[in-house]
């Protein structure tokens, strides 16, 4: 009797102690591999960044589908379950003039635990390639991208756009993280998992740059390179710092991706999935120069077109880098992004071809 009582009390105490801890850890639905959560990146946003991670549905609700600036018929309601009914020529175009900085484009600042409250701001997509090879994509969404200024001159501000999808990808082998991809504008950087900075021992840190949200492995300044725009190094920079902690896992949707069938399956029956098949753009089309908001200098637009969504990020890539015709350098030391060292192979680096 006494033994049973002690056992019952012990069990109760165990449940009381362990329950909150488990709730904190397990925000994800059942079935998501534990290692995809354990080794998930943590993001540090820049403290000066006005444009925080943003709720997907809020974004959609403030836009109108347009093709060549003309509104097109849309499903009603237009939401994460119906977005795929729109054509791939559609631009989700802001209902407000974004140059006036409406509140909704500023997103949701994470709370002290790194959670964007009442805002789903990320998507985790798991591509299990078999034989223990798994690529996990951590997709980050921001409603607005501020492109930065050349030489810090406010008039030389390019590449602002509505909608901003960035990502990390972690390549796993038998549940062990091998390498991490950091998306940065049209390209990015790859590092061995072992050399990345960690939060809580396991989670690699990504530093999101002020305004443009390119992801870097270290804080500091990085050359912000623009394809076909040959600026000298140091002229247009991304700034990263250990600013505001964002744990994307705390407000994310989770999916499996079957590359053979090009099919997404949510881990949780309540998770909307159709939006991943929307092939259009998540923001306004580049304004013509006849639009008084637009400035075009050296072929660069102040306001460029919004991006396509997560399905367009090469979810079934061979190397840890997306295939873009450049060498995929898997770095063994943490280096900033610099135009003059971009293609340089350092000792210990591995080149994937």
Ligand X SMILES: *[C@@H]1O[C@H](CO)[C@@H](O)[C@H](O)[C@H]1NC(C)=O
Query: Of 78, 73, 76, whose CA–CA distance to 62 is shortest?
Result: 78
Rounded distance, CA 173 to CA 24, Å?
26
Where would I find the H helices in 46-193? Answer: 56-61
Q: Which residues are within 8 A (CB) of 311 and not within 5 positions of it... i.e. 6 or more apart?
A: 264, 276, 277, 279
Structure-token pair, residue 58: 């809020």
Structure-token pair, residue 136: 């996990």
Closest to ligand X by CB, 39 or 51: 51
Least distance CB 95 / ligand X (angstroms): 21
Q: Which residues are within 8 A (CB) of 2 and not within 5 positions of it... i.e. 6 or more apart?
A: none
Binding mask of the shown chain, residues 190 to 229, with x at each position contacting ligand X by CB under 6 A: --------------------xx------------------
**H helices, E strands: number in the chain:** 3, 21
48 contacts ligand X (rule: CB under 6 A) = yes
Binding piece for ligand X, criterion CB under 6 A, among 48-56, 76-84, 100-108, 177-185: 48-56
Among 27, 35, 38, 50, interactor with ligand X by CB under 6 A: 50
Pairing outcome for strands 220-223 and 350-352: unpaired
Rounded distance, CA 165 to CA 219, Å?
20
Owner of token pair 């409406």 = 102
Closest to ligand X by CB, 146 or 165: 146
Binding piece for ligand X, criterion CB under 6 A, among 44-52, 194-202, 220-228, 332-340: 44-52
- 120 near 108, Cβ under 8 Å? no
Pairing outcome for strands 328-331 and 187-192: parallel
Closest to ligand X by CB, 66 or 302: 302
Owner of token pair 């590449």 = 159
Closest to ligand X by CB, 49 or 166: 49
Least distance CB 239 / ligand X (angstroms): 4
Where would I find the H helices in the chain? Answer: 2-25, 34-38, 56-61
Closest to ligand X by CB, 240 or 300: 240
Least distance CB 108 / ligand X (angstroms): 16
Binding piece for ligand X, criterion CB under 6 A, among 42-50, 63-71, 101-109, 278-286: 42-50
Closest to ligand X by CB, 147 or 204: 147
Least distance CB 49 / ligand X (angstroms): 6
Closest to ligand X by CB, 239 or 313: 239
Rounded distance, CA 163 to CA 218, Å?
24
Binding mask of the shown chain, residues 90 to 129, with x at each position contacting ligand X by CB under 6 A: ----------------------------------------
How many residues lie near ligand X (CB under 6 A)?
A: 7
Among 62, 239, 317, 337, interactor with ligand X by CB under 6 A: 239
Q: Which residues in 141-160 contact ligand X (CB under 6 A)?
A: 146
- At 62, is the secondary structure helix, strand, or coil? coil
Residue numbers of the site for ligand X (CB under 6 A)? Answer: 48-50, 146, 210-211, 239
């Amino acid at each position: 009797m006494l033994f049973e009582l002690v056992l019952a009390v012990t069990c109760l105490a165990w449940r009381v102690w362990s329950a909150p801890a488990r709730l904190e850890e397990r925000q994800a639905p059942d079935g998501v591999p534990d290692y995809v959560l354990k080794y998930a990146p943590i993001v540090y946003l820049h403290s000066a960044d006005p444009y925080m991670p943003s709720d997907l549905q809020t974004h959609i609700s403030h836009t109108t589908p347009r093709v060549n600036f003309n509104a097109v018929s849309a499903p009603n309601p237009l939401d994460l379950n119906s977005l795929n009914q729109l054509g791939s020529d559609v631009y989700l175009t802001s209902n407000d003039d974004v140059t006036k900085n409406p509140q909704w484009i500023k997103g949701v600042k994470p709370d002290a635990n790194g959670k964007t409250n009442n805002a789903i701001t990320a998507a985790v997509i798991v591509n299990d390639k078999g034989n223990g090879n798994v690529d996990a994509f951590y997709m980050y969404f921001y409603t607005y991208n501020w492109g930065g200024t050349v030489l810090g001159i406010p008039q030389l501000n390019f590449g602002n756009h509505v909608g901003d999808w960035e990502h990390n990808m972690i390549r796993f082998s038998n549940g062990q993280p091998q390498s991490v991809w950091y998306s940065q504008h049209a390209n990015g950087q790859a590092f061995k998992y072992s050399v990345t900075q960690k939060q809580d021992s396991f989670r690699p840190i990504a530093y999101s740059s002020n305004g443009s949200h390119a992801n870097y492995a270290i804080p500091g300044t990085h050359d912000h390179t623009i394809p076909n725009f040959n600026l000298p190094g140091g002229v247009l920079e991304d700034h990263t710092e250990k600013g505001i902690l964002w744990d994307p896992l705390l407000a994310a949707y989770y999916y499996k991706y079957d590359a053979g069938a090009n099919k997404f399956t949510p881990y949780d029956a309540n998770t909307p999935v159709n939006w991943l098949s929307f092939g259009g753009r998540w923001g306004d089309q580049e304004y013509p120069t006849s639009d008084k908001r637009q400035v075009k200098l050296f072929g660069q637009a102040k306001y460029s077109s919004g991006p396509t969504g997560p399905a367009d990020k090469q979810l079934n890539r061979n190397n840890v880098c997306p295939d873009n015709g450049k060498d995929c350098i898997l770095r063994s030391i943490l280096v900033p992004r610099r135009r003059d060292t971009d293609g340089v192979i350092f000792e210990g680096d591995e080149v994937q071809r």
